[in-house]
Amino acid sequence: MASTVEGGDTALLPEFPRGPLDAYRARASFSWKELALFTEGEDMLRFKKTIFSALENDPLFARSPGADLSLEKYRELNFLRCRRIFEYDFLSVEDMFKSPLKVLTLIQCLGMYDSSLAAKYLIHSLVFGSAIYSSGSERHLTYIQKIFRMEIFGCFALTELSHGSNTKAIRTTAHYDPATEEFIIHSPDFEAAKFWVGNMGKTATHAVVFAKLYVPGDQCHGLHPFIVQIRDPKTLLPMPGVMVGDIGKKLGQNGLDNGFAMFHKVRVPRQSLLNRMGDVTPEGTYVSSFKDVRQHFGATLGSLSWSRVSIVSLAILNLKLAVAIALRFSATRRQFGPTEEEEIPVLEYPMQQWRLLPYLAAIYALDHFSKSLFLDLMELQQGLASGDRSARQAELGREIHALASASKPLASWTTQQGIQECREACGGHGYLAMNRLGVLRDDNDPNCTYEGDNNILLQQTSNYLLGLLAHQVQDGACFRSPLKSVDFLDAYPGILDQKFEVSSVADCLDSAVALAAYKWLVCYLLRETYQKLNQEKRSGSSDFEARNKCQLKDDAVALVDVIAPPDFILDSPIGRADGELYKNLWGAILQESKALERASWWPEFSVNKPVIGSLKSKL
């Protein structure tokens, strides 16, 4: 081990304060420093220490125990902290390409401090930025420079009030006008308003807006991304034709200003189209290297993988915090014992171990996986940026989409359940707000929904696997993928013939046994699902009907009518008895205090621009 790892408080991994946890640390079968060095690497540990030390020593990031900030103040503070991150310039654009994992590490460090800060920085720098970089061309590179100088502030506008997961039903339009060489961005009604968009509520000046592209003759070429200015960077006031505002307080992540926008025939230059996947000539002719809309649609939405892969990491860091709190509590909280005079730590009880240790194991497994998937995503993005149109590149995109669509639900649900278990395992003390478990639970909650509802995403992974199996059954094709995540399915008939022959508990500790069991389970479930779907279709059901049969659904609303109180008591715009879901929600949003007002602290963005890297000397 490098000597810099050892030592006092200034060491890379300083010793912990002596105290009640010493007894457990002395009983460990390994050196925690050696394991940290093995899993992270000295360079990454040093990078994390630099970030954590900067935040701890900066008054702007000082913790305020017991403070109950107003929504406006929290949003302001979160923006100022985001700006300060640019002043520290922990990671230059060049460094992002040289060491991609440092991007993930920076997001994790910010997320451990405050998930709202990580989300704000992530959406502006990476989601907005990567959408432009991977979907745009050379004519859009100036935006990248403006992003990292905070001359503009960005967001990613795909979801609408009435459509989220069903992206093909997005209704915002972009009609091309060859007379002026402009696209006309338009929201046909309030249900087509862009909604839930992070950073849009108060701070975003520009948005990557997804809209259906129409050329003269009213020919639609599907969903395309456009850069649209929604506010004046000098004043943070809305641009002409843009109605933009804040959707209000949420259950968690309230430092992030989620917002909405409607466009009334907003004209943007032809060059606003992010044109790597498809373009329109000045005369109005659509050109694309993709043969059909379906291929183009899949490639265009590849930018969503950034968010989904990042959420895997963000969810796991929430679990890291919760498990650290709960296990340290369990190692020092003493209750009961072999005699009335002696109490032992609750960690000694098998029930407490059974509740917490599986989540500790999940952290190590999912953390390693998230890093690996992030590097795979970087490979995909670099291919997109270089114009790679190979079959392998296309298949890599589909595989990463399937992996991200499965791993986001796995990570976010595991974390949500784990945080709740940690809260309960800490008893009443876990319910105290100051101990942060409630905040972690609420801040992680949206990870289960945004960038794709977990239940819907799992179906996308299932469809990917079912498609591969159908191709194999019908055409004799082999299971092959660039990352080899599905290659084992090539042997699925033989895997299903295998029997569980492990005879001892000790044998079950071999990871190969668990891996073989999971391979069998995936093959079994895939075969059963494939056969049942085909059986339904042979009986006359369409593919859609075969997937959605349920006996109770026709009685569900009437059964709810029996138990539901009056609307005044229920007090939920989306749950009212009239069923006017979007009308009620939209009306409630517009009645929110200051929904359409610009932030009171707008000069902090418009006037006080950060000097990028100005605080780097203090690191």
Q: Active-site residues: which are they?
A: 451
* Whole-number Å distance between alpha carbons of 381 and 392: 13
How many Cα atoms within 13 Å fall on the side-chain side of residue 185? 31
Quick check: helix, strand or coil at residue 2?
A: coil
* Whole-number Å distance between alpha carbons of 89 and 619: 10
Amino acid 312 reads V
Quick check: 489 and 405 in contact, CB under 8 A? no
Encoded tokens for 413? 């649900």
CA 546 from centre of chain: 31
* Whole-number Å distance between alpha carbons of 277 and 135: 7
Quick check: 91 and 126 in contact, CB under 8 A? no
Quick check: helix, strand or coil at residue 196?
A: strand
Q: What's the first-to-final CA gap in the chain, in angstroms?
A: 24
Burial (CB count <10 Å: 0-12, 13-18, 19+), residue 406: buried
DSSP secondary structure of 154-190: EEEE--BTTBSS-GGG---EEEEETTTTEEEEE-SSG
| 198 carries a ligand binding annotation | yes
Quick check: 260 and 247 in contact, CB under 8 A? yes
Encoded tokens for 133? 């970089």
- Reading phi first (left if > 0) and then psi (alpha if -120 to 50, else beta), residue 154 is in beta
Return the DSSP state at 447: G
Residues in the chain, total? 619
Amino acid 331 reads A
What does residue 480 show for φ and ψ, rounded to 5 degrees? -145, 140
What does residue 76 show for φ and ψ, rounded to 5 degrees? -65, -45
Quick check: 341 and 315 in contact, CB under 8 A? no
Quick check: 167 and 211 in contact, CB under 8 A? no
Q: SS3 letters for 336-373?
A: CCCCCCCCCEHHHCHHHHHHHHHHHHHHHHHHHHHHHH
- Segment holding 382, helix H or strand E: helix 350-385
Quick check: 118 and 208 in contact, CB under 8 A? no
Q: How far is CA 261 from CA 24, 113, 206, 232, 584, in A?
A: 54, 30, 11, 15, 17
| 222 carries a ligand binding annotation | no
Residues that constitute the known binding site: 159, 198
Residues that constitute the known binding site for FAD: 159, 198
